Amino acid sequence: MIHYHGLPITPATAAVRAVSSGHAFVSFRHPEQLTIALEVAQSFALDNGAFSAWRSGAPVLDWSEYYEWIAELHRYPNFDFAVIPDVIDGDEAANDALLDEWPWRESAPHVGAPVWHLHESLERLDRLVAGWPRICLGSSGEYAKIGTSAWWTRMAEAMDVICDRAGRPGAKIHGLRMPSGTVRQRQSKASSS
């Protein structure tokens, strides 16, 4: 498992220590420590900032500046992936429309990772796993609170779709806001039993 440290981290010296030879996650809404990620991280990923925008009450409607940002940054050797724009608590049609708009869908699908929101259908998840090399999982709707019984049940359903009978995933997965103590603690308990 790769843990991406979300930036910014203050002070900057702590950010350098956190991502030095590690992995950084830089938000489009808070890119002030991008240089740190470029200079010291083994790899970095880019977040579209949709969650922060949604929480602020001003969801993003025009993603052109984000696409320009990625166009420059995906050429760096330590670039890993960018989260494709998504509509938090949106419907599947709205999120699929953003996938259709993604500039690298045909030419370089490895550049982007679409988000499957836990409140969306398992059929959509299956389509994303079949069509993309990496997907992101976002806690949303009735599964917004990470670590609840309902959340764990939904994650188990998702893993049944993502993985084959031998437990191998059909695509790489990245959990948005998921490396919390709750998730790690549950993983540690499962590993030790």
- Reduce the DSSP state of residue 62 to 3 states and report it: coil
pLDDT in tens, 121-143: 999 999 999 999 999 999 998 99
pLDDT in tens, 56-90: 888 888 999 999 999 999 999 999 999 999 998 78
Q: Which residues, other chains included, contact 67 with Cβ-Cβ below 8 Å and sequence gap of 6+?
A: 103
pTM for the whole structure: 0.90
% of the chain with per-residue pLDDT over 90: 79
- Reduce the DSSP state of residue 6 to 3 states and report it: strand
Which of the residue ranges 103-107, 180-184, 189-193 has the most confident prediction, judged by mean pLDDT? 103-107
